[in-house]
Structure 1
Amino acid sequence: MPDSKSPKLLIVEDEPALQLLLKAGLVKAGYEVATAGNGRLGVEQFAEQSPALILMDVSMPEMDGFEACRQIRELERHTNTPILMLTGSDDYDSIQAAFESGATDFITKPINLPLLQQRIRYALRDSAREQELLRIQNLQTSASRIAGLAFWQYEADEDRFVWSDDAASMLGWEEEMPASLLQALVMAHEDDRQRITLAFQEALTAGVRFDLEVRVGSCDQYRLLKIIGERELEAKRISGALQDVTRQRRLEGQAEYLAHHDGITGLPNRRLFLHSLEEQLQQELEQMAVGVMVVELNRFQQLIDICGLDGVEQLLRLITGQLRAIQDDATFCAYLGSGCFAFHRLLDRSDLSRIEISSEQWLKSLDRPWILDGREIFINFSAGIVISTLHCNDPHMMLSAATQTAHQVRVKGAISAQLAACGEDVMTGRLSLEADLRRAIENSEFNLVYQPQLHLASNTIRGVEALVRWNRPDHGPVSPVQFIPIMEEMGLIHELGRWILIEACRQQLDWDQAGMPLRMGINLSPAQFMQADLYDQVEQALKTTGVKPEMIKLEITESLAMHDPASSIKLLERFKALGVKLAIDDFGIGFSSLEYLLRFPLDTLKIDRAFVTDITKGRNDRAIVRALTSLCHEMELTTIAEGVEDQRQCDYLDAIGVNEIQGYLISRPLPPEELFMFAQGFRDK
């Protein structure tokens, strides 16, 4: 029976009698039913009614069912309402056209109401993913039914076939059916003739039932026939059936292809990648290793938000084309979904020292503008690489290690690659690290260090950036790049972020009361920024410590702010009203829109180290930094350049008007006492 909530169905049918019959039957079955008399009205009704399922006639005035189906799919975009096509034609082309227009299923006229109700119940139960699979399965089933069966008898004494009257029409043959076994053998492919002869002989002499698939016709245009035969009680007669399974086998081949390939890119999917990787690992030679690389489009969800699903699909096809162009025969490339591509190939063990650099160079062709709807888009890619060893040769483990590393790579440029660790000892080490991180929270094992920021015009330390550190018991210091992503996965980052807020505010107040009023920069992680109570946490930290709000600067990354610009603006405006300062960190490496940059209530823009590193060598980097600095001057924003490591970089940044710098040229991050003495030394000069 239908669901008790009475799903609403929409019948789009131009024949009043059939429309009335269908509506009466479905209302009686417990459904709520709306109707439309042609495709155009059907599209309008869909937009107004949002039905759970649509019954769509094919042939209608004004707009046929195919076009109506296509327009409905365009309207709904992210949903997948089941659409059952009602057609009086059961030929393959009509069915294929129905599925290509977006239909979920089809049923032929005259309508069998119980069968229709069963199809409706099944469609309503299915998820969008299951419906897509059902569409392929129905395509195969339809081809089998359309093919039909021809029945025959073979009289051995007379070497004569007797065919059912509709044999030729059921098979769709224009030629005459063979009258004798000899004629049948002549029609068959020469490589199949012996099999047919032996099958008939075994059936006649030993009563063996046979089931063969043989080819008929030329090599380039043959048909595939399924022949089933069995001897009757009379020893000289065989009865059987013949079916043209050419289309069915081709469709099965297509389904097999789809089961192992991605529908958007056409590349092998995860299943086929793992199978291929396993085969290569089994064939690994003594002096060779197997390398696996996962390449991830950074901020993939943001790309979807900006470009839409259609735009991202187009982008994936463009990237696939670029990868195919650089891929050699020894490299296996696959698409894993969610913006991740994977590769594997044999590598010479004597030449693995520069694997990260060589991988970045190999993928350098991806560092270019991608044109979507007439606009240029630049994308950052991060890559995780793993090399097989004696203890790391499981395909699932290798792919997992490479994928995790791709997630954690800090983007240094357009393409950033990092070698992954892999093996059971690594997995065990991960579990141990997670356990120690939980204890670190409980035992307050984290501490803050502070990187000074030099004000170029006055040559004084005006502010600092708070950075978290962890000295793991019995192991020593652990990089934040390693433990922060794990804490985000474990859900511990919220508690750590709250502690950092309070500790940084407390430290700023201590320096302020000691006569060293340094502005405190505090980074907000993506997980923190998404917390509903973040504003309350900041407000509480200010009240608890008594720090002056204007001495606190909250730093968020560019990509984080652009994930949901409208919501980000509202939250930042609340912080602004609270009195704290606001900065955009790592600016220039994402997808920022100047429209939103102008609307963000910012005080500071931090120029990412990716542009500073080669600023004295690269013309493009200099042009970008000059443009950003000029823009900030016009907007009355403070600029801070990160990653300054030599005097030439400092001099250039000073010359173009950058306000402040931070980096190892000034100082490494320092503990509170050392930072105080360091800043005092600048003030006393």
Structure 2
Amino acid sequence: MKEEHTAFTISEQKGFSIKDSNEELVNLFQSWDDIHMGETKAGFPGLIRNLFNALEETSHVVISDEKGSMAYVSESFCSILKYRKEELEGKYYTELRDRLMTGSDRERLKEVFLSGTNYETETMPVSKDGNPFIMKTSIMPLVKSEEGITKFSIILHQDITRLTQAEKAIKQLASTDNLTGLPNRGKFEQDVAEYIEGDKSLQRSFAVLLIDLDRLGYYSEILGQHTGDKLTRNIANALVGLNHKGIQIYRYGANEFSILLKEPESASEAEGIAKDILQLFNSPFSADGDELMLSASIGITVYPDQGNTQEAVINHAEDAMHHAKEAGQANLQWFRPSIRTKQKEKLIMERKLRAAVENKAFQLKYQPQIDLKNMAVIGAEALIRWEDKELGAVSPERFIPLAEETGLINPIGDWVLEEACRQAKKWSDEGYSLRIGINISPLQFQKRGFVEKVNAVLQDSGLEPGKLDLEITENHLLRNREESLRTLGKLKKIGIRISIDDFGTGYSSLSYLQRFPVDTLKIDRTFIKDIINNSKDQAIVTSIIQLAHNMNLRVIAEGVESSDMLPFLNARNCNEMQGFLYSKPLPPSEFTQYIKIIPPAEILTGS
């Protein structure tokens, strides 16, 4: 080495100069090379120089003494750190990391230099212009004295800054939802696990909220994925905009978000956040010019009270969220142990329901619809029934919501449509001219190709379109009004009759009722059951009948169970009724016997 590069003296070394260090290093290399090569060259001997050339092809080389003072630095090491040799040689290696190294880190490296042990780590030397590098660093003893004391150590560096940055970017990408930019489900589960692991001594609590968005998947299917994606991003932005302290929001699934609330002051804080979220969905969200209504179902758990592992906390939040959906959507539920029992029962029912769909193990029963003026059977409503060997008779109120949640409602709805039309055609061929009413699930009504499906069933069965009456609930017609209007228009063009089911229980938007091409209003049974004694119900039923007649619509009163109701309904010219007063829902053979006693009237058209 050049003499002028060794003028710097480290005061802490108490008289040990870099010149002394270099001379001893060169002498040791010289002696070692003489023995093995028998030749010397200027500077470092031949073998040592060849060795260093090979090392410097792959690494940035530093040689330090037992105190960590750099006796030799390679040109590449100087170049990458923007130092001249004389600025580095003689300085302590640890000085390159002072700004990024803790005291314990420096002490560890000092021990390595003194003990002469092999050591591998990642170091972060800082260049002269302040730019930090990430180096994969290997330290190993190079020369030992006869007493076994390490005189010099070689330090090999490989710049892994870009590799580390790339790995960090990949991890960031892997933990981020591409659509919303929020952390994804994997990151959520990781954060929950890490918070629990870090809590073992601190006893910190946190709350988990799982949010399921009803109808988000439907809008993506009906309006297209592009619109669905915009809607999802708008919802994500609205959730982030709540701006509650201490929360992190994640995209948990296609229709789900999750929230981690660290150290809530009380359970009411988590519930307050949930209520604010529900409030967001009281107004429609815009996407590509459409105003779209959604609702949220939220499940809440708190660690450690309602689960002390990652799996338990998240599973319990999911159970609570599913319970919220079953309770009618647009609400929140806290986890309770009893929910797990209900979830297990639900899984059993789902498994059996799938088998029933596959085997078409359902029955249709038919409830007569009576023309009050002529006291004749004018139609029948087809009602699905399911009886399982183990579960017994399962109410439609139980299995229909499950079918809608799992997507089984579409094959079930198709079967009902096909079977009811086939039966109605059979009755027609036997001389019984009946209108057949079929309840249509909103998911079935909103599915692409629904009109084509109905038309195909009519063609296959041979049933006249005018004898098919599709019953659709008011609320679901009004949720996506423009699309509903288009679908109803196509159905009416075929000649199918349309009834609004459960009228009076929903929005009752008169402006849209005027636009909807419907034929009949069905007054919900909740207004009929107390009609004799309840003056408010009397007023509502009277108003509905008058409204329907003013709009040239027919009216059916559902749930008529006593003869006392008939004078009231007749006095207001209610057109039709159905209920236990005349008959419960009947199997096809019993229904045929019934209409032989009460002959069906001809279908009334245009009224």
Q: TM-score range by the shorter chain?
A: 0.5 to 0.7
Query: Cα gap change, 1:304/1:426 in structure 2, threshold over 3 Å: closer, same or farther?
Result: closer
CA shift, 1:656, in A, is 4.2
TM-score (normalised: structure 1): 0.54
CA shift, 1:217, in A, is 8.1
Partner of 2:278: 363
Cα distance in structure 1, aligned partners of 2:215 and 2:242: 21
Partner of 1:553: 469
What secondary structure does 1:502 align onto?
A: helix
Asked if the contact 1:382–1:409 (Cα under 8 Å) also holds between the matched residues in 2, the reply is no
What secondary structure does 1:326 align onto?
A: coil
CA shift, 1:346, in A, is 9.8
Partner of 2:541: 650
Paired residues, number: 482
Partner of 2:115: 205
Cα distance in structure 2, aligned partners of 1:436 and 1:305: 26
Asked if the contact 1:383–1:416 (Cα under 8 Å) also holds between the matched residues in 2, the reply is yes
Cα distance in structure 1, aligned partners of 2:68 and 2:390: 92
Partner of 1:267: 182
Q: Structure 1 residue 380 and structure 2 residue 290: aligned?
A: no
CA shift, 1:232, in A, is 0.9
Partner of 2:312: 394
Asked if the contact 1:151–1:163 (Cα under 8 Å) also holds between the matched residues in 2, the reply is yes
CA shift, 1:211, in A, is 2.4
Matching residue within 587, 600, 611 for 2:477: 587
Cα distance in structure 2, aligned partners of 1:299 and 1:454: 41
Matching residue within 381, 404, 418 for 1:501: 418
Partner of 1:640: 521
Q: AA paired with 1:650?
A: V
Q: AA paired with 1:468?
A: I
Cα distance in structure 2, aligned partners of 1:160 and 1:351: 59
Whose relative contact order is higher, 1 or 2, with alpha carbons under 8 Å and at least 6 apart? 2
Cα distance in structure 2, aligned partners of 1:597 and 1:508: 24
What secondary structure does 1:236 align onto?
A: strand
Partner of 1:480: 396
Asked if the contact 1:336–1:342 (Cα under 8 Å) also holds between the matched residues in 2, the reply is yes
What secondary structure does 2:479 align onto?
A: coil
Partner of 2:54: none
Cα distance in structure 1, aligned partners of 2:59 and 2:418: 76
Cα distance in structure 2, aligned partners of 1:475 and 1:383: 28
Asked if the contact 1:511–1:517 (Cα under 8 Å) also holds between the matched residues in 2, the reply is yes
Partner of 1:612: 504
Query: Cα gap change, 1:605/1:315 in structure 2, threshold over 3 Å: closer, same or farther?
Result: same
CA shift, 1:213, in A, is 2.3
Cα distance in structure 2, aligned partners of 1:376 and 1:481: 32
Partner of 2:73: 163
Q: Structure 1 residue 181 and structure 2 residue 95: aligned?
A: no
Query: Cα gap change, 1:429/1:587 in structure 2, threshold over 3 Å: closer, same or farther?
Result: closer
CA shift, 1:342, in A, is 2.9
Partner of 2:351: 434
What secondary structure does 1:296 align onto?
A: strand
What secondary structure does 1:613 align onto?
A: coil
Cα distance in structure 2, aligned partners of 1:674 and 1:556: 24
CA shift, 1:189, in A, is 2.2
Query: Cα gap change, 1:437/1:208 in structure 2, threshold over 3 Å: closer, same or farther?
Result: closer
Q: Could you list the runs of 5+ residues in structure 2 that have no partner in the other structure?
A: 1-57, 145-149, 528-536, 561-577, 602-607
CA shift, 1:168, in A, is 4.0
Partner of 1:78: none
CA shift, 1:319, in A, is 1.4
Query: Cα gap change, 1:232/1:642 in structure 2, threshold over 3 Å: closer, same or farther?
Result: farther
Asked if the contact 1:152–1:163 (Cα under 8 Å) also holds between the matched residues in 2, the reply is yes
Cα distance in structure 2, aligned partners of 1:172 and 1:642: 85
CA shift, 1:588, in A, is 1.4
- 1:77-476 correspondence to structure 2 within 5 Å: 150-155=60-65, 159-171=69-81, 178-182=88-92, 184-185=94-95, 188-189=98-99, 191-192=101-102, 195-196=105-106, 198-214=108-124, 216=126, 224-234=134-144, 235-243=150-158, 245=160, 248-276=163-191, 292-300=209-217, 302-303=219-220, 306=223, 308-309=225-226, 311-326=227-242, 328-329=244-245, 333-343=249-259, 362-372=277-287, 375-383=289-297, 385=299, 394-395=312-313, 397-398=315-316, 401=319, 415=330, 422-423=339-340, 426-427=343-344, 430-431=347-348, 434-435=351-352, 438=355, 446-450=363-367, 463-473=379-389, 475-476=391-392
Cα distance in structure 2, aligned partners of 1:300 and 1:273: 22
Cα distance in structure 2, aligned partners of 1:333 and 1:491: 31
Query: Cα gap change, 1:472/1:238 in structure 2, threshold over 3 Å: closer, same or farther?
Result: same
Asked if the contact 2:319–2:343 (Cα under 8 Å) also holds between the matched residues in 1, the reply is no
Query: Cα gap change, 1:210/1:347 in structure 2, threshold over 3 Å: closer, same or farther?
Result: closer
Asked if the contact 1:269–1:335 (Cα under 8 Å) also holds between the matched residues in 2, the reply is yes
Deviations 1:607-658 (A, max 9, x none): 575x8336xxxxxx45xx22223224xxx64253664743444344445445
Deviations 1:522-549 (A, max 9, x none): 537749986998766544444xxxx655
Cα distance in structure 2, aligned partners of 1:391 and 1:194: 34
What secondary structure does 2:482 align onto?
A: coil
Percent of residue pairs bearing the same amino acid type: 14
Q: AA paired with 2:212?
A: V
Query: Cα gap change, 1:517/1:424 in structure 2, threshold over 3 Å: closer, same or farther?
Result: closer
What secondary structure does 1:364 align onto?
A: helix
CA shift, 1:302, in A, is 3.8
What secondary structure does 1:586 align onto?
A: helix
Q: AA paired with 2:438?
A: G
Partner of 1:140: none
CA shift, 1:470, in A, is 2.5
Query: Cα gap change, 1:177/1:680 in structure 2, threshold over 3 Å: closer, same or farther?
Result: farther
Partner of 1:83: none
Q: AA paired with 1:671?
A: P
Cα distance in structure 2, aligned partners of 1:208 and 1:391: 42
Q: AA paired with 2:117?
A: G
Deviations 1:73-113 (A, max 9, x none): xxxxxxxxxxxxxxxxxxxxxxxxxxxxxxxxxxxxxxxxx
Q: Structure 1 residue 523 and structure 2 residue 440: aligned?
A: yes
Query: Cα gap change, 1:493/1:186 in structure 2, threshold over 3 Å: closer, same or farther?
Result: closer
Query: Cα gap change, 1:395/1:347 in structure 2, threshold over 3 Å: closer, same or farther?
Result: same
Cα distance in structure 1, aligned partners of 2:184 and 2:357: 40
Asked if the contact 2:417–2:457 (Cα under 8 Å) also holds between the matched residues in 1, the reply is no
Partner of 1:671: 585
Partner of 1:629: 513
Query: Cα gap change, 1:437/1:255 in structure 2, threshold over 3 Å: closer, same or farther?
Result: closer
Q: Could you list the runs of 5+ residues in structure 1 that have no partner in the other structure?
A: 1-147, 558-583, 615-620
Asked if the contact 1:645–1:663 (Cα under 8 Å) also holds between the matched residues in 2, the reply is no
Partner of 1:600: 490
Partner of 1:54: none
Q: AA paired with 1:498?
A: W
Cα distance in structure 1, aligned partners of 2:351 and 2:471: 27
Asked if the contact 1:334–1:341 (Cα under 8 Å) also holds between the matched residues in 2, the reply is yes
Q: AA paired with 1:521?
A: I
What secondary structure does 1:520 align onto?
A: strand
Cα distance in structure 2, aligned partners of 1:251 and 1:529: 44
Cα distance in structure 2, aligned partners of 1:592 and 1:317: 23
Cα distance in structure 1, aligned partners of 2:466 and 2:455: 15
Query: Cα gap change, 1:399/1:238 in structure 2, threshold over 3 Å: closer, same or farther?
Result: same
Deviations 1:138-173 (A, max 9, x none): xxxxxxxxxx95322225599444222233444567
Asked if the contact 1:586–1:608 (Cα under 8 Å) also holds between the matched residues in 2, the reply is no
Deviations 1:379-398 (A, max 9, x none): 32342647696899735644
Q: AA paired with 2:73?
A: W
Q: What is the RMSD of the two structures over their aligned residues, measured on CA atoms? A: 5.6
Q: AA paired with 2:479?
A: I
